[in-house]
Amino acid sequence: MANKVKYGLKNVYYAKATIDNETNAATYDTPVRWPGAVSLSLDAEGNTTKFRADNIDYWVGQSNNGYSGDFESALIPDSFRKDILGDVTDSGGVLIEDASAKTTYFALLFQFEGDVSNTRHVMYKCSATRPSVSGQTTEEEIEPQTETLTLTAIAVHNSALDMDVIKARCGEADAPYENWFDAVYQATTLSA
């Protein structure tokens, strides 16, 4: 049974991706937990093209260019800063932002709670911008500050399906649900 409502972002993970430049297929490292998820807001990207003939919209086509938006969390994990954003650690354990570092693609895995099924998702080929640096003085009450990344999710090629994919999701009744965060799920066949 499908959810009627969704709420509660949780169980966020990222998995470093290695992209084959010729095929646009990906292999993934083991997912790494990202604690402190606050919000995720990704808008669909793409265009609608209309062709007019016979005084009507004779043909309408849509392009799917993925998603873009923001992911807010309590703090960005140092492991993400190193694995994806290219930061390095010196011999004293200090995390250093390398100005010449290239960011790495990654899969983003997460879950929304719901009234029936706690739906789990994966976005297969994400990139992230560096976060802004901000903070403020403590007033009479402590108010936690968060960090936000701008994310873009685009298509990656699934060789087994011979199609480009952007995301996948499953509910509690689906077979991959229990092991969803152990490895990045990649479909091998489609149902008839």
Give 48's pLDDT tier (boundaries 50, 70, 90). Answer: confident
- What's the one-letter identity of residue 81? R
List pLDDT tens digits, range 77-131: 999 999 999 999 999 999 999 999 999 999 999 998 875 678 999 999 999 999 8
Give the list of residues 6+ apart from residue 95 with CB closer than 8 angstroms, or none: 78, 81, 82, 87, 88, 89
Tell me what pLDDT residue 5 has.
59
Tell me what pLDDT residue 74 has.
92
**Range list of β-strands (E), the chain:** 6-19, 26-28, 32-33, 37-44, 48-53, 56-62, 67-73, 88-89, 95-96, 106-114, 120-128, 147-154, 156-158, 163-165, 167-170
List pLDDT tens digits, range 154-191: 999 999 999 999 999 998 888 899 999 999 999 998 88
Residue 16 has pLDDT above 60, yes or no: yes
Residue 1 has pLDDT above 70, yes or no: no
Tell me what pLDDT residue 62 has.
82
Tell me what pLDDT residue 144 has.
79
Q: Is the pTM of this model over 0.95?
A: no
Give the list of residues 6+ apart from residue 106 with CB closer than 8 angstroms, or none: 14, 15, 16, 17, 83, 84, 126, 127, 128
